[in-house]
Amino acid sequence: KLTYGQSITDACIGWDDSEMVIHRLAEAVRKRRAGGSVC
């Protein structure tokens, strides 16, 4: 059962850390998309 506000990814980090990770990931995605993909 899901509980509002409870992390479903890692019980060891709180919302503040989760939010920071999400923002960093989003920024990395934006930079990669802006620069193109090299495979």
pLDDT-based confidence at 12, cuts 50/70/90? confident
- Each residue's pLDDT tens digit, 13-22: 778 888 888 8
pTM of the entire structure?
0.56
Distances, alpha carbon 10 to alpha carbons 7, 21, 31, 32, in Å: 6, 12, 26, 26
Residues 6+ apart with CB under 8 A from 2: 8
The better pLDDT of the pair 4, 7 is held by 4
Q: What is the pLDDT of residue 13?
A: 77
